[in-house]
Structure 1
Amino acid sequence: MKIRPVILCGGAGTRLWPKKSKHQAKQFIDFGGWTLINKTFDRIKSNVFDYPIISTNSKYIKDVKKALKKSRISKYKIVLEPAKKNTAPAILASALIKEIPNNQPLMYFTADHLIEKPNKLVSAINKNKSNLDDKNVFIFGIKPTNPSSEYGYFLSKNIKNINKVTRFIEKPKQAKAKEVIKQKGYWNSGMFFLRKDSIINNFKKYQPNIFRNCSKAVTKAKYKNNVYYLNKQAFSKATAKSFDYAILEKTKNINAIKLDIPWSDLGSWKEICKMYGKNKNKYFKKKNVFYRPWGSYVNLFNGKEFLIKELYVKPKGILSLQKHHHRAEHWVVTHGMPKITLNKNKFVKKPGETIYIPLGAIHRIENPYKKPVKIIEAQIGSILKETDIVRYQDVYGRVKN
């Protein structure tokens, strides 16, 4: 039996746009000729997978269909949620649709993850298929590259060639994350692999309310043009919970598949800046390089309400003390040690460190050292033009009196 991929595609991506009521969900953002959802669809084209099921809501159905068309996926099913209830009801409802047999292996992907070396992931999924039973759950761990406080972690113990999960650590502070990594902790990627009967058994045992209401929502669903419209009245009564809290924290039968592959959920501008920094050769165009008295900058990608640049500040180069009316900025230092002014504070940053410049904050970059400084900058706002600079001081005489 082939593995059925289920793609969870209901996330709003609010972490990237905290102050905007209208914004593009992360999985549909064009990052330069590609989106995260299309990368996810490309991942499931391996012959180990059956056709996909996509769990989403009416707000995103047009975007999902557009992405399916772009990825040339003609056979699929969409399960449409009538209310936002987090991942537990989404995972259960998508498993309960009638064409999925009871012993069907289900692989739950998130639509907004960036995974490099996807063949390693697919191979690990296929290899562990025979270990699934009617109660266990496999989660996917990613070997950490840094002590990030943006991700959850887990610890595990190897018993008879299977990694049994012994503990979860939810988004620890950096010092704690360092300890967890020393104990060989892995990032919890939010991808799950289990059989339909395991989902049913776990929800019946630990979340009877969710099971009862999701079952009704599926039984009473309307089906038209490959879309299951879940019954609103029943689905709305299901408790809103994440799969982690609803099932993973209750069951003791959790195993881990550990992966050492480049992975990110691009959930912050820091991660997005790092991604562009790593792949800047793909985005670099000579015509987008602009020279300034303090060095130069290159526009790497101009997206919808965001602009990614790389700044090059030559030794002894000083940008003007300035502010912006229409944009905030996120910086990731990649080379050198810039001296930063942010309102009344001054500090030095090292490679890998980040700075957030809120809208209207007075700021400056200086490079007092002999090595050049390089910074990947994400500008976020409605107007992203060089005209949106108010200068207060400038060593190159660019302040207008």
Structure 2
Amino acid sequence: LPIDGYFDDLDVFVQALAKGVNWASKNRIVTFGVRPETHTRDYGYAQMGQQLETDVFRLDQFQRKPDTKGKNTTLEWDKSLWNLGIYLIKPSLFLEELEKIDHEFLTALQSASGNAIVDAPLYRPGSPYETLPARSFERGFLEKTSKTVVVKVNTKWADLGTWKRVHSLSNLDGNHNSLTGDVISVGSSGNIVKSTSRLVATVGLKETAVIETSDAVLVSTLDKLELAKEVITELQTNNRNELIEHKRVYRPWGSYESIRQGEGFQVKSLMVHPKAKLSLQAHRHRSEHWTVVRGIAKVTCDDTILTLEPNQSTYIPLGARHRLENPGSEELEVIEVQCGSYLGEDDIIRFEDDFGRIRD
């Protein structure tokens, strides 16, 4: 299920989903489509075949980004829908069909699953996953099976793949600005400005996207946003951490955010869900200071167990076996100050863990 789809009438989409669930229960592969507003290579197309019930059809053929001028496509445009990339399929049927389509590929996937590393809630496929050829679900599977039906969704749909598209669907002010968060706009028009963590002010700005997060700020004219891909390339070239890690990092027990970091120290905000606890762990290269600012904390440090309330703190020496737990019914927030020669997240030795993250 893609996260960047916009439906003008959500109730109509939910009704279409219900039809899809019904057909998936009949051992069919279900995809969804909408009437195209124009012929474009930006989307795949699902051609409707025999009608099975109202708005449900056999899939005659699927083409990914076809030739819109008709020279190299067999699509019948009047019977074709934009494919939404939303699929319903029983796992057992998927495996059965993939066995018919590509036995070797399925065998490789099963090996990768058997060699997977579980770092709950993350699941990392093992060898030979990284060496498998890249292929889309549509091209590697959907085009090669005969058990697919397509459900037509009778509402307008948009792909929110760019900030320009988001701007076009937003509620605009009198100057055609889309403003979200703590924003002041003076003499500016036609912009999309989004603030998540601080005040953003624009003066005399026109047809520009300003997207502010705690990690980074993007500023681009709306007609040049496709060049943002070059920023990604630059981040990759320079091995910038912003490409792979947000300031707020989520874990099964809650989350943490790096507030300040310098040579030999780091300050974090830890948020622990009610009744959740971190692993019993130790560090080789750092000590930690914990100060509770909200909630109640249960702290284990070697053979000592403490209960801390707001404005109380404790010290975790280097090498000590320790654990932080939230025994309460509200979120626990702790300010952690790390000190040491190395502060990487891989400096963790786990002894007990509720989320299966202990490795041999």
TM-score, reference length from structure 1 = 0.43
Query: Higher relative contact order at CA 8 Å, sep ≥6: structure 1 or structure 2?
Result: 1
Structure (1 or 2) with the larger CA radius of gyration: 2
TM-score, reference length from structure 2 = 0.47
Q: Higher strand share goes to which structure?
A: 2
